[in-house]
Amino acid sequence: MSGPDSIRILAGLGVRTATCAGYSNCHVPASAASHGAKRAFMREGPPWIRLRTNLMLSGRHADETQSREPCAIPSVVYIMPAPRSYTREDVVEFHLPGAYPLVQRLVEDCVALGARQAGPGEFTRRAFLSGRIDLAQAESISELIRADDDATARRALAALKGSLSVGIREACRALIDIRATLEAGLDFSDQDIPTADVAAIARQIDAVRHALGRTVARDDERLARPEGLHVAIVGRENAGKSTLFNALVRCRKTIVSAIPGTTRDVSPGTLSRRGTRYILHDMAGIPGNLCATGSTIAVNDDGRVTEHVPGSDGRPGTPRDQAISAAQETIAAADLLLMVVDCASRDLQPRDTFAQVGTRPAIIVLNKCDLLRDRSALSKLVRAWRRLFVSVLPVSALHQTGIMELKDALHSFVATSSPAGPGHHLLTNARQRSALAKAQDRCAEAATQLLPCQGVELACLSLAEALEALGEVTGRGCAEDVLDSIFERFCVGK
């Protein structure tokens, strides 16, 4: 409960309060004050008052035809006096037994005493309007609530701590200084004052534009993989793909059998590792002549090489053909291939797999390494494969050997392929991205308009528009309908 009437409503519930003279606008229970508790609530103390008390719930009922007996409910009440609260208003928080009828009676009594039900995001909106947080931080709270992976949660927490807001404020200060310098030259152009170095100012504007561009570029990378990194588990039949898939997602999601061709459909599963989500795809085993595009290569009797894509002739084909077609689509859309090789098989050579993978990023998984009793033979096999592939890992999916090393290899792939690294994106939604892109464009215009043929006046106007766009990110001068659209996406009570 937040607002100037919170303490009055608390008193209406039977909790006696008194004003603490040593703390501005601080209310403490009279019983606590009489026991010398004032000193606990001075400015250097905690910003709340914790009180064990009984809430006196009346016999009121929303349906006036019914009546109930008044009751006293043991509870703990936290009183957070303004301005040291989340909303910078007097805030009262009730902790009581979680039985729904009791909670409902408390809500009804508070409403009868003058409170009203909070709207979606109203507490956070009050915190924003009071200046406790800016709009970028407010939006990060909603993003944090909805986060379903570590990377999203870390990005939202960073924005809540002000990482994006600090960068925006620095850009605003730089643009304000630049604009002031240019406008001073316009106002005193008729006086004997040294003119500003236009070329140097243009370089300063470009520096701000590049800083904004780096933030937008990092968000481009995040938007390219909104769900996570798609990883296709590829290999011949009975190479152990489904066993590996189940070991990585840590549950039995696909059927494992020694009978070839058991897996037909593409089965997705998720893995989270060090803040990055991976969408793993188990699929049917592919023939040894399936290339990275999913087509099959065949050599005819006359020596001609032909390429065939299952289903390309308009016919659905056999169930096996349909399974290979589905695997082809998944391989084409994947960000990374886990090429599973049965290292106990004697008819598979590294060059065959190299021809299949082509230029696609891949990790070679030498599965069933437990079947090689001779450790020197396994080391020799790994060295042979590493002549063609950078990332080669011996694994026993059945016995969970090498699974952690494989997860680390997935993380290393993300770390080396991402210029910003995993989990370092600052923006939390498309609205912020659009505002930053607009500010970046206006900065580019301003730098161009500083040319003598166009004049300084246009550059000042472009800088003003860039500042306005940056203000949209932090909420400075944001329109009321925009605020309504943002906070209506919050859940009630946040």
Give the mean pLDDT of 3-27: 63
pLDDT of residue 111: 87
Pairing of strands 392-394, 276-282: unpaired
Is the confidence at residue 105, as pLDDT, over 90?
A: no
Q: Three-state SS for 376?
A: helix
Q: Lowest mean pLDDT: which of 56-65, 416-425, 426-435?
A: 416-425
Tell me the C-alpha distance between 466 and 84, whole Å: 34
pLDDT in tens, 309-320: 545 544 556 777
Comparing C-alpha atoms, which of 50, 122, 48 is closest to residue 85?
Answer: 48
Q: Is 12 exposed, middle or buried (0-12, 13-18, 19+ CB in 10 A)?
A: middle
Per the model's pLDDT, the better-predicted residue between 459 and 39 turns out to be: 459
Confidence of residue 140 (pLDDT cuts 50, 70, 90): confident
Tell me the C-alpha distance between 468 and 69, whole Å: 58
Q: Three-state SS for 230?
A: strand
Which CATH architecture is the domain 229-417 placed in?
Answer: 3-Layer(aba) Sandwich (3.40)
pLDDT in tens, 144-163: 888 776 667 777 888 888 88
pLDDT of residue 28: 37
pLDDT of residue 443: 93
pLDDT of residue 470: 92
Confidence of residue 205 (pLDDT cuts 50, 70, 90): very high
Tell me the C-alpha distance between 297 and 305, whole Å: 7
Burial code of 382-392, b = ≥16 C-beta within 10 A, e = fewer? Answer: beebeeeeebb
Is the confidence at residue 483, as pLDDT, over 80?
A: no
Burial code of 19-54, b = ≥16 C-beta within 10 A, e = fewer? Answer: ebeebeebbbbeebbeeeebeebeeeeebbbebebe
pLDDT of residue 59: 58
pLDDT of residue 71: 80
Question: What are the residue ranges of CATH 1.20.120.430 in the chain?
Answer: 163-224+425-487
Topology at the third CATH level for domain 163-224+425-487: Four Helix Bundle (Hemerythrin (Met), subunit A) (1.20.120)
Question: What are the residue ranges of CATH 3.40.50.300 in the chain?
Answer: 229-417
Confidence of residue 214 (pLDDT cuts 50, 70, 90): confident
Per the model's pLDDT, the better-predicted residue between 283 and 190 turns out to be: 283
Is the confidence at residue 425, as pLDDT, over 60?
A: no
Per the model's pLDDT, the better-predicted residue between 218 and 77 turns out to be: 77
Q: Lowest mean pLDDT: which of 221-230, 338-347, 363-372, 409-418?
A: 221-230
